[in-house]
Amino acid sequence: MSVEILEKEIKPGTTILNVEEIREDFPILAETFSSSKGPDIPLIYLDNAATTQKPRNVLEAIKNYYSHENANVHRAIHKLGERATVAFEKSRSKIADFINAPSARQVVFTRGTTEAINLVVNGWGRKFIKAGDEILLSEMEHHSNLVPWQLLAKEKGAKLRFIPFSKSKGTLQIGNLEHFLTERTRIISVTHMSNVFGTINPVRGLIQKAREHGIPVMLDGAQSVPHLPTDVQELDCDFLAFSGHKMCGPTGIGILYAKEKYLEEMDPYQGGGEMISAVWLDKATWNDPPHKFEAGTPNIAGAIALGAAVDYLNSIGMEKITTYEQKLTTYALSSLQSIEDMKIYGMAPFRGGVISFNLGEIHPHDMAQFLDSQGIAVRAGHHCAQPVMRKLEIPATTRASFYLYNTFDEIDRLVISLLKAREFFGHGTR
pLDDT of residue 292: 97
Using an 8 Å Cβ cutoff, are 354 and 223 in contact? yes
Using an 8 Å Cβ cutoff, are 253 and 299 in contact? yes
Classify residue 69 by burial, with Cβ atoms within 10 Å: 0-12, 13-18, 19+: buried
The two beta strands, 354-359 and 44-45, are: unpaired
Domains of the chain: which residue ranges? 5-42+317-428, 58-315
Classify residue 14 by burial, with Cβ atoms within 10 Å: 0-12, 13-18, 19+: middle
Q: Running along the chain, 430 residues long, what does each successive block of 10 average in pLDDT?
A: 34 67 98 84 97 98 97 93 97 98 98 98 98 98 98 98 96 91 97 98 96 97 98 98 98 98 96 96 96 97 98 97 97 97 96 98 97 97 98 98 98 98 76
Summarised one tens digit per residue, pLDDT across range 188-204 is 999 999 999 999 999 99
Give the C-alpha separation, 52 to 187, whole Å: 31
pTM of the model: 0.94
5-42+317-428 carries CATH number 3.90.1150.10: yes
pLDDT of residue 1: 34
Q: Write the class of the CATH domain 58-315.
A: alpha beta
Give the distance from CA 107 to its chain's centroid: 16
Give the C-alpha separation, 226 to 309, whole Å: 10
Q: Among residues 217, 231, 170, 163, which one has the least CA distance to residue 195?
A: 170
Q: List, by residue number, the catalytic residues.
A: 384
